[in-house]
Amino acid sequence: MLEYIFGVISLGLIYVIATTGLAVFTGFTGLFSLGHAAFFAIGAYTAAILTYFYGWNFYLALAAGAAAGGLVGFLIGYPTLKAKLRTDYFAIATLGFGEAIRVLLENLPITQGARGLPGIRGETNLPVLLVSAALVIWLARNLIRSRHGRAAVAIREDFVAAEMMGVDIFIGRLRSLTFSAACAGLAGGLFAHYFCFIQPSMFTSYMSTQMTAAVVAGGMGSISGPVVATLIFIGIPEALRVANIWRLVAYGLLLVLIMVFRPQGLMGYREFSLDLVKGWFGLARKGGKA
Amino acid sequence: MFLQTLLTGLAIGGIYALMAVGYSLVFSILNFSNFAYGSIIMLGSYISYFTMVKLGMPIGLAVVLSIVGAALLCWLNERLAYSPLRKRRASSLFFMISAMGTAIFLENLVYAIVGAHFYAFPEVFTKTNLTFLGASISVLDVFAIVFSSITIYALHTFLQKSRTGIAIRAASYDISVCSLNGVNDGALIGLVFMLAGGLAGVSGTFLGMKYIVYPTMGWITNKAYIAAVIGGLGSLPGAVVGGILLGVLETFVSAYVSSVVRDVFSFSLLVLLLLVMPTGLFGRFLEEKV
Cβ distance of B92 and A100 shorter than 8 Å: no
Per DSSP, helices labelled H in chain B are 2-30, 37-49, 59-77, 83-87, 92-113, 124-127, 139-161, 163-173, 175-180, 185-210, 221-231, 236-256, 262-276
The count of other CB atoms within 10 Å of the CB of residue B149 is: 14
Confirm if A26 and A212 have CB atoms less than 8 A apart.
yes
Domain ranges, residue A10? 2-280
DSSP annotation of A83 reads T
DSSP annotation of B218 reads G
* pLDDT confidence band for A287 (50 / 70 / 90): very low
Higher pLDDT, A224 or A285: A224
- The chain-wide mean pLDDT, for chain A, equals 83
Question: Residue A267 pLDDT > 70, yes or no?
Answer: no
Domain definitions of chain B by residue range: 2-276
Confirm if A123 and A58 have CB atoms less than 8 A apart.
yes
Question: Residue A281 pLDDT > 80, yes or no?
Answer: no
- CA A20, A231, A12: angle at the middle one, nearest 5? 80
Confirm if B222 and B35 have CB atoms less than 8 A apart.
no
Asked whether residue A289 is domain-assigned, the answer is no
The DSSP bridge partners found for residue B213 are B119
* Listed range (A222-231, B139-148, B275-284) with the worst mean pLDDT: B275-284
Question: Residue A94 pLDDT > 50, yes or no?
Answer: yes
Q: Which residues of B touch A87 (CB under 8 A)?
A: 92-93, 96, 288
Asked whether residue A180 is domain-assigned, the answer is yes
Asked whether residue A191 is domain-assigned, the answer is yes
Q: Which residues of A touch B225 (CB under 8 A)?
A: 92
CA distance B125 to chain A (A): 32
Q: Chain A residues with CB-CB distance to B under 8 A?
A: 30, 32, 34, 79-80, 83-89, 91-93, 95-97, 99-100, 103, 107, 158-161, 209, 212, 216, 243, 245-246, 248-249, 251-256, 258-260, 263
**SS3 annotation, B146-206:** HHHHHHHHHHHHHHHHCHHHHHHHHHHHCHHHHHHCCCCHHHHHHHHHHHHHHHHHHHHHH
Count up the domains in chain A and report the number.
1
* Rg (alpha carbons) of chain A, rounded to whole number: 19
Confirm if A187 and A17 have CB atoms less than 8 A apart.
yes
pLDDT in tens, A49-71: 998 888 888 899 999 999 999 99
Asked whether residue A111 is domain-assigned, the answer is yes
Give SS3 for B96. Answer: helix
Distance from C-alpha of B176 to C-alpha of A42, rounded to nearest angstrom: 46
Distance from C-alpha of B142 to C-alpha of A139, rounded to nearest angstrom: 59
As a dihedral over the C-alpha atoms of residue A194, residue A199, residue A204, residue A208, rounded to 10 degrees, the angle is 30
The residue among B115, B93, B95 whose CA lies nearest residue B103 is B95
Distances (CA, A) of B282 to A9, A119, B241, B247: 51, 53, 9, 18
Q: Which residues of B touch A103 (CB under 8 A)?
A: 260-261, 263-264
Distance from C-alpha of A125 to C-alpha of B146, rounded to nearest angstrom: 62
- The chain-wide mean pLDDT, for chain B, equals 84
pLDDT in tens, B141-155: 888 888 888 988 999
Q: Mean pLDDT throughout A102-106? A: 83
Which residue of B lies nearest to A261 if distances are taken between CA atoms? B84
Confirm if A221 and A269 have CB atoms less than 8 A apart.
yes
Size of interface A-B (CB pairs under 8 A): 137
For residue A194, the surrounding DSSP H or E stretch is helix A169-195
What pLDDT, on a 0 to 100 scale, did the predictor assign at position A276? 63
The residue among A206, A182, A207 whose CA lies nearest residue A25 is A182
Q: Mean pLDDT throughout A256-282? A: 70
pLDDT in tens, B203-232: 898 888 888 888 777 777 788 888 888 888
pLDDT in tens, B51-103: 988 888 888 888 899 999 999 999 999 999 898 888 887 777 788 888 888 99
Look up the pTM and report it.
Answer: 0.83
Distance from C-alpha of B218 to C-alpha of A186, rounded to nearest angstrom: 32
* CATH number of the domain located at residue range(s) B2-276 in this protein: 1.10.3470
Q: How many residues does chain A have?
A: 290
Amino acid identity of residue A289, one-letter, is K
What pLDDT, on a 0 to 100 scale, did the predictor assign at position B77? 93
Asked whether residue A290 is domain-assigned, the answer is no
The residue among A20, A23, A31 whose CA lies nearest residue A155 is A31
Q: Which residues of A touch B246 (CB under 8 A)?
A: none
The residue among A184, A176, A183 whose CA lies nearest residue A155 is A176
* Listed range (A189-198, B116-125, B229-238, B252-261) with the worst mean pLDDT: B116-125
Q: Which residues of A touch B38 (CB under 8 A)?
A: none
